[in-house]
Amino acid sequence: MVAGLQGLDPIIVSGFARGIDIIAHDQALKSRLTTLACMAHGLNQIYPPEHIDFVDKIEAEGGFISEFTTGEKFDRKHFLIRNRIIAGLSHATVVIQSKAKGGSMITANFAHQYNRELFAYPGDLENPLHQGSHQLIRSQKAQLITGAEDLIKAMGWESKSIGTSVQKQLFIQLNEEEKIIFDCLKLVANESLDNIAIATGFSVSKTATVLLKLEMKDCVKPLPGKFFEWA
């Protein structure tokens, strides 16, 4: 899946743990994509120790993130605490495999609470390692995907020519409120409704109204999870 996203240049976020976490980081590096590792301890140490060989590569192509102070030791309960940061950093969370109760389910529930897009791979119905994914799909918290194409389509990601978009906007008349929000979006790749409201000083309802007007003028494009980008 990660290799299939290469042309869109996403940031791959994971937890540097054994299993799918380190596989995601490794594949991001192989695909020359930025990757962020969210750690469950202070940044002056590496856990698990066998992943030390990935440190320099990840620092060169992304970085490490932690809310724990320098020197704070690894503790299993920290995994559950840091999962909310993984969900918060990501526009989309993808569950590859999970038991009915597990760390991936906690991350998925955080993503759902944050109104972020959530996806899950299906698996063998009799295998307990897939019960969590099936539970997310059955409860309609997560969309079923089987690869990169499903994710790209669901997220509305597509390549676009910035030059063409800039030329198109030259002939559109914007009022003062529309211009403020449009200028705000020009500074970022995409942004959430709440953050646009904070940045512009408008109320959320006012921001939503102006964004709708901009969308009708083909100036902005809505994205999943109440995000918007410059069209």
Rg (CA), the chain: 20
pLDDT the model gives residue 183? 87
- Report the DSSP beta bridge partners of residue 136: none
The whole-angstrom separation of Cα 186 and Cα 219 is 10
Domains 3-155 and 162-230 share a fold: no
pLDDT the model gives residue 80? 84
pLDDT the model gives residue 106? 93
pLDDT the model gives residue 224? 80
Structure tokens at 221: 């494009």
How many residues in the chain?
231
pTM of structure: 0.68
Give the start-to-end residue ranges of the domains of the chain.
3-155, 162-230
pLDDT the model gives residue 225? 80
pLDDT the model gives residue 35? 96
**Reported CATH class of domain 3-155:** alpha beta
Q: In what order do the strands lie in the sheet with 227-230?
A: 191-192, 227-230, 220-223
pLDDT the model gives residue 51? 97
Would you give per-residue pLDDT tens digits along the chain (231 residues)? 999 998 898 999 999 999 999 999 999 999 999 999 999 999 999 999 999 999 999 999 999 999 999 888 888 888 888 999 999 999 999 999 999 998 899 999 999 999 889 999 999 999 999 999 999 999 999 999 999 999 998 888 874 433 344 444 445 788 999 999 988 887 777 889 999 999 999 999 999 999 988 988 888 888 888 888 887
Fold of 162-230: Arc Repressor Mutant, subunit A (1.10.10)
Q: How many CB atoms lie within 10 A of CB 207?
A: 24
pLDDT the model gives residue 28? 96
pLDDT the model gives residue 156? 84
